[in-house]
Amino acid sequence: IHIEKKIEELGIELPAAPLPKANYNIVCLPPGESVMYVSGHLPIKADGELMTGTLGPDNGGMSVEEGYAAARHCGLNIIATLKKQLGDLDRVEQVVKVFGIVSSHTDFKHQHLVMDGCSDVIMEVFDKPVGYHARSAIGTNTLPLNAPVEVEAIVKIKPE
């Protein structure tokens, strides 16, 4: 099934593809190569609002569910970037790896559950085997712009 049609059938609305927030390229696809490196994406909602905060409900921070939603927005932004860069999401041959960084209090130990938000939306859109990826999820004390989650990806691309 055509990926854009599947997105429509799932009722998913892709946000506008985000622009870099500093001096870097949003993706890197070296000439003649088939592996695209997607820079870290933040949880920007469809209305342009950046989600902010730190995970750790025991310390007044965000819950796992709120973090999951933030990671899902990161995934949607990555998909939007792929669409903008490739023109056709059917050119995605394999989502190889997703790397997620979760801003969290030191006693928060559920970064992996937060990152399921990104992994789940990638699987909803691309399904197995294309969307089934390797993943790392780590915690850190802070992220740019007070984002709760940042996600980067490595994606294998089909030739044009």
| Per-residue pLDDT, 11 | 96
**What pLDDT, on the 0 to 100 scale, is given for residue 82?**
98
Q: Left, alpha or beta for 151 (phi > 0: left; psi -120 to 50: alpha)?
A: beta
pLDDT for residue 1: 59
pLDDT at 17: 96
Distance CA 94, CA 57 (A): 35
Segments of the chain with pLDDT less than 70: 1
Q: Amino acid identity of 50?
A: L
How far is the C-alpha of 78 from the C-alpha of 92, rounded, in Å? 12
Residue whose tokens read 């993943």: 135
The pLDDT, as a whole number, for residue 160 is 81
What tokens does 94 get? 């394999």
pTM of the complete model:
0.97
Using DSSP's 3-state secondary structure scheme, residue 106 falls into coil
Work out the burial of residue 45: count CB atoms within 10 Å of its CB; fewer than 13 is exposed, 13-18 middle, 19 or more buried: middle
Instruction: Give me the pLDDT at residue 53, please.
Output: 97
Map residue 94 onto helix, strand or coil.
strand
